[in-house]
Every structure is written in structure tokens, then in C-alpha cells.
Structure 1
């Protein structure tokens, strides 16, 4: 691939992030990624950054080399903190107005096709996609099984994988967050791929953020382990499994639990947990506040079996927490032996047993190893260096070859080889 020095020698480029999965009030991995990327671009590159996201109104804010564009979109039913852009004409107008050199699409629905449409009229534009969630399995199959049963869900999943193959063939380069996801794309015939590990701000997420008064501030007892989960409180993240697990913990363990975040299951779980030492403080927008919550806890818990990376897991480990989760998705990569305990997906009893076993063992040593692994292996500087120095140049080279080969004419895509 093109070298780091060659890409940095380019004139100032305009990079565009395009996503449905943004919320200013509910956090999430993509929101974290957008914020960290903005800081990296402004601090470490000469480039400009356009970020197009859903919002309550149409608004464009230009601050120096950063352009933040919100497109008015309706709220997602059941997830009011998130919005879904249907007005793709507005997105295409923004792309035509600013004419980015590289478009990075961060979600699979509707907006990637706006990027593809834009390239028909501006064929030199390089398209990069992040396959950040194995959505045919994590979204389509899961919801299909709940609504229609196993057989229709498998059919819907197969159709979704065909859609993914059709979509990502349009992109000059695709990155995944895990080797498993990269292998899945290879099976679909998508071979212009890279694995892009995400990062953690180890200066913010540190055991030093621990607050001895945190439990008291939540009205929780001071004895026993404090379990914590941070993320969307919804079906995809299997937040209900955590409450089921908590009910199965031995009473003598004296555990408490805090579930940080918001989502469609939050009100339901609050009602179901009445009388238990379980609290739901809502979304913590301040990163230092989230680090305080994590570092002041003892064990991080997660029930999601389809996690593709797990930024919240890495942030918890950076704060010195061992992890109890499930052996599915990216969790075995994030939580190898010695950093926590994993059990079968969906098994609340096994998860409760793992919490008790971990707490009764040398959990402090395990947490120290988790901190060491997180700070050694995951760094935002490394993430964005790979993105800007390897992935973007590869996409731009392919875009240049495509234009030289004459596969595009104004407003129309020609078949390869025409």
C-alpha cells in the first residue's frame, strides 16, 4: 500500500464521515469513534473533516477544518436517542456542496448508497466502508427470529448477506473490526479489506479515576462487588440477561450493579429490578464521568454475543476491571484467559457463577493484567495512523485506477472492462 509519507505529502484533503449511528445523548461506539477521529484530524493531520449525521434539524457548523453537518431525521421508534435519515437527497446535496476526496461510510443502511450515487458524478471520490457490525446476524437474524421464528430468520439473514455483498462491492476498500468479520466478507467475495482495531484513551480511562464515594452517591451498599455495564440498554446488547444474571448471584456475595446508558429496555428493567441493589443512572456524556463510574466498580459485565469490537470493554479494562461476558463475537479476542471469564451466550446462571468465581479469586491481579493488555494493544493514535496511512491511500489508489480505466462517465456507471 501507499506509504505513510506519501499520503501525508498530499494536499489538504477533505475526509467525510457518513453515518446513521450517531447520538449526542446516548453515546455508543460510533459516536466515540467520530469524536476521537475529529481530535486526531485536527491535532495530527493537515486535512479537513466533514461529519454528516442525523439530528433534530438541518444544520451545518463550520469550525476551522471541522465541518459538522446534521440532517433532520425522525426518531427511531423505541430508541428516541437515535434518529434515522430518510432524506437522502439532503445528504447528496451536502456531498455535492463539499465534494469530499474520501467518504467513509459507517453503517449499512441507505446512506452508503448516497455515497455510491455521489461517486457517479464525482468518480475520483474514494469510498471506504466500515463493516462495524455483522448486521445480517446481529440485527436481521435476531429480530427475525423474535418476530417470525427460526426458519424465516435464517432466510432473512441469507438475504441480508447478499445485500452486504452487493453493497460492499461498490466500495474501494472495506475495513472490519475483527478477523472473523473480515473472513465473513471474504466468503462473500469482498477481498479489498483490512482489520482496523479501535482504541482507548488510557489517560482518561485509568484506575486513578476511582472515586471512593461513588457507591454512596448512587445509594448502593459498600460491601461486595460492584458490577457495571456501560452501553445501550436494549435487546441487541442483551441488557435483560444482566438482570437475570444478577438475580442468580449468591445472596452472601453482597453484590450491587450499575447499568450506565439508555435504551428501549431501560424503563422495563428499572421496574423489574425494584427492591434490588441495581441502579440505572442514565447516559454519562462526560468521558471523565464514565471513567469514574468504571474505575469505581469491580467487575465489568456484558451479555452481548455479537459484539464486533467492544469499545466499552476496552475502556473498562483500561480502568483495571476484569470482565465477565459470553463466548461469542469479539469477546474471546477482548477477554482472553487471565483477563476475565466467559460463558455460553444467553446463559444467565453460568454468568452468575463466573461473577462469583472471579470475585472469590484474585480479581485485583486480573484487573491489573486487563489494564496492561488494554493500554498495550489498543491506542487511538495507532487506529487512525492505520486508517490515514494505509486504508485511505489504498482506496484512493483504486479510485485513481478506476478513473484512468474510464469505467465512469458523467452520471453513469459503466461495467468493469467497458
Structure 2
């Protein structure tokens, strides 16, 4: 079995998609299969990681550190050279019709919410509806099967008449992301007193992630009670840096590459806060809860939001503020909360389950064949 993964969302500051691809590299190695990963790069580059061949193809820069392929013909050349048994597109959909003539089965991992992401563009509603219909009819209907990381999106896509939608939840390394990684010295280095609660956000700094809302939220909180640490990169990084100079209870840290360092940051917090308008899975929610932090966010109807009672039912600053105060009370009165959250994540989300589900999806299409074709 040879799988070719194609995604533009794989670079130094990537989140969930890169984590999935990296874990898949390990899984393919254990399965003794072959894998090819095609991603954008500044120049052409080919290299090997275990059983996986990476191709970085020439691309042009986009906002926030992302890039996109200069030519889809470059990808077709890799397909013809490598002769994969399956193409899997992660988080990108519009290029799919260009590869149907290659005669290779295609799957897509619905990492990106096409409908809600399109709604962010300042164009007429009719045009947005037309673009989404194009994605559904010409791209998603054209593939052999669709992988979704949450049941919400399985329901949504099936309601559009799409078939062969398979639920493949992502996982988290619960040994790395663990409450025991808490480091009070780290908190003190930020000027966090023991009687203060540390609010934490880790992720992309962009409009759809609610970066503006996080700043507004913090301005309304008592600085003697709360301190917020924002970790990440993105187009709104300048906004966070500017407010850090004005707000005594705001600290900014850039993207953290080290999983061990990130685990320490998570576990050293008290409450994970997100103002994201939509998530297809919420990997940061899992990492935070595995580290023992309750998640205060808008209710996105996701399995990764474990404590439903502290979610904000409306997408505004006021209800999110109420969510934080609820979580604050919960922390004060429940000494076992951190261990409970870690246990729930460990029981329900693992990379082992991810790849069992993925294997089941492949088998349903008769795609399990031996290495070397």
C-alpha cells in the first residue's frame, strides 16, 4: 500500500494537520507500507523520513506563513513518478478535480470547514453560496471517500447528500501532555502570583480564531485575579504584541516547536480559553484538557469539548466571560478536576484509535494491498 498525502498546511508553524501527518509517518512505518507527502516549499526538495518520501514543491507565500503550490502539474509529475494507490488531500479541496484523470482513488480529510471559512471573505452572500456549492459538487462529490475528525461534520456533510463519510477522530499524546508537567517556577517567571489564575490560549492568531475577542475579554477581567498567556503565530500577532505593552496582565509567547516545552506551558496554566468561531476538531482543546485544564470556549458541538456546562452558548464576550467565572469556581471546589480531564482524554482520544478508524475507512474501499503493489 502506498499513500500520497497532499496538503499546503504543513510548515514550521502548522498545527493539527502537521501533527496528523507526522503521526501518520510513524504509523506507515509500523504498517510497513509506503508513503509520499507533498507539501509547498520555497524550492524543490526531496528527502526521506522512515518509510516516507517528502516532496517540497515550488510555491508562493500566503498570509500567516502558509504557502501554495505554483503549479498543480508539479504534483501530477510526482503522482506519475511514485504511482500511489491512494491520494489523500488534507484541508484543501479546490485542486481535487485536476487530479481525477490520473486514475488514482482520492480521499479527502475534512480538516478545514469550507462553508464557514468561505464566509470570512467580504463578498456577496450569493457568491459565497455558489462557491460552497462548487466545493461540494465538484470536489467533495468527486472523491471516493471523505474523512472527518468530528461527528458534527459527519452529520453536516451527510445532510448535503454526501456519501462514504468516515469518522476519524484525531488523538493526543497523553504521556507528553500530562498534569504532572506543571511548573510553578514557569508561572512565577511570568509574574503570576499563586492566588492568580493563568488563562491560556495556544493557537493561530487570526480573525476566525477570535484573537480580537480574546483581547476584549481580557480587558474586562480583573487583573488582580487573572493573567492571560497567548502562545502562537499568525496575521494578528501584531495586535497581541501591541496590547501586551498596554495590559499588565497579558503575556505573549511566539509559536513553541518543542512538545515538551509546550506541555509544560499547558500544565502550568489554570484555564484554557478560546474565542474561535469554528473548529473541525479542536486539537488544542485536547492538549489542554490532557494537561488538566478546563476549556472555556464557544459551544462548537465538538466531542473535544468535554465539560459542556462551562461552554459559552452564545458567541459574544459576555457569555465567554461568564464561562471563565464558572470554570474559576469549579477549579476552586474540585481538587480532582485536572486528573479527571486527563483521564477522559486518555480514555476517548488516542492516535491508536485514529489509525484504527483510518484503516477501517481504507478497508471499506478495498484499498488494503501489499507494499510494492
Report the TM-score when normalising by structure 1. Answer: 0.82
1:366 pairs with 2:352 = no
Matched with 2:280 is: 308
Two-structure CA RMSD over aligned residues (Å) = 2.1
Could you tell me how far 1:364 is from its partner in structure 2? Answer: 4.3
Retained in 1: the 8 A contact 2:274–2:296?
yes
Identify the match of residue 351 of structure 1 among 315, 320, 337: 320
1:37 aligned residue: 24
Say if 2:120 is the partner of 1:130. Answer: no
**Residues 119-171 of structure 1: per-residue CA shift (max 9 Å, x gap):** 2xxxxx3211111222112x11122xxx24xxx23541353134223211211
Q: State the 1:189 CA deviation.
A: 2.0
Q: In terms of Rg, which structure is larger? A: 1
Q: CA deviation at 1:353?
A: 2.2
Q: For 2:208, what is the secondary structure of its paired residue?
A: coil
SS in 2 for 1:293: helix
Whether the aligned pair in 2 keeps the contact of 1:27 and 1:283 (CA below 8 Å) is no
* Cα distance per residue 1:90-146 (max 9 Å; x no partner): 111111111111111112344433442422xxxxx3211111222112x11122xxx
Task: Quote the Cα distance in structure 2 between the aligned partners of 1:27 and 1:297.
Answer: 22
Partner of 1:408: none
Q: 2:60 aligns with which of 40, 51, 74?
A: 74
5+ residue gaps, structure 2: none
Q: Which secondary structure state, in structure 2, belongs to the residue aligned with residue 216 of structure 1?
A: helix
1:280 CA drift (Å): 1.5
| 2:355 corresponds to 1:395 | no
Correspondent of 1:375 among 339, 346, 362: 346
Q: 2:7 aligns with which of 19, 25, 28?
A: 19
Q: CA deviation at 1:307?
A: 0.9
* Aligned twin of 1:299: 271
CA distance in 2, matches of 1:301, 1:391: 34
How far has the Cα of 1:369 moved from its partner?
2.2
Is the contact made by 2:3 and 2:34 (CA closer than 8 Å) also made in structure 1? Answer: yes
356-365 or 91-100: bigger deviation? 356-365
Q: Shift of residue 301 of structure 1? A: 0.7
Partner secondary structure for residue 66 of structure 2: strand
| Paired residues for 1:14-413 under 5 Å | 14-24=2-12, 26-42=13-29, 44-77=30-63, 79=64, 81-119=65-103, 125-137=104-116, 139-143=117-121, 147-148=122-123, 152-153=124-125, 155-252=127-224, 254-276=225-247, 277-330=249-302, 333-337=303-307, 341-361=310-330, 362=333, 364-388=335-359, 390-396=360-366
1:315-337: CA deviation from partner (whole Å, max 9, x where unpaired):
1110011110001252xx32244
